[in-house]
């Protein structure tokens, strides 16, 4: 099966559109292309209870779970509001991602 094209990449600043963390801004920590999901810093946090082992003390660990890519949007570099992603080819032939709302290039 062909790999799905994802317009959101690791390191992007995104805004959560739906769910319990709606409106939260965060950085993308990882992208799961096969499942079309992203890991966002400080979003969809859960508590995991770990048993003590020979190497770790155990206890309650807080970590982020992935959310579906349709529930996040790129934060516009100019205003910080959610924006869709488009592509533009520069004069030197380089293809870059642009925010549809302001037209700014996404780093």
pLDDT tens digits along 7-65: 999 999 999 999 999 999 999 999 999 999 999 999 999 999 999 999 999 999 999 99
Q: What is the pLDDT of residue 107?
A: 79
CB distance 26 to 14 below 8 Å: yes
Rounded to two decimals, the pTM is 0.85
Going from the N-terminus, what domains does the chain have, and what CATH number goes with each? 13-79 (2.30.30.30)
Q: What is the pLDDT of residue 1?
A: 55
3-state secondary structure at position 45:
strand
Tell me the two tokens of residue 17: 């559109």
The total number of residues shown for the chain amounts to 107
Query: CA-to-CA distance for 5 and 82, rounded, in angstroms?
Result: 20
CB crowding 36-58: b at 16 or more within 10 Å, else e: ebbbbeebbeeeeeeeeeeeeee
Work out the pLDDT band at 2, boundaries 50, 70, 90: low
Q: Could you report the per-residue pLDDT of 30-39, keeping only the tens digit for each? A: 999 999 999 9
Tell me the two tokens of residue 93: 């032939």
């Amino acid at each position: 099966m062909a790999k799905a094209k994802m317009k959101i990449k690791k390191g992007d600043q995104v805004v959560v559109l739906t769910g319990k963390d709606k409106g939260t801004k965060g950085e993308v920590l990882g992208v799961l292309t096969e499942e079309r999901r992203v890991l966002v810093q400080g979003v969809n946090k859960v508590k995991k209870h770990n048993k003590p082992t020979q190497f770790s003390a155990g206890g309650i660990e807080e970590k982020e779970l992935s959310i579906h890519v349709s529930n996040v949007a790129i934060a516009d570099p100019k205003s910080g509001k959610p924006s869709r992603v488009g592509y533009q080819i520069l004069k030197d032939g380089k293809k870059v991602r642009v925010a549809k709302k302001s037209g700014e290039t996404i780093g």
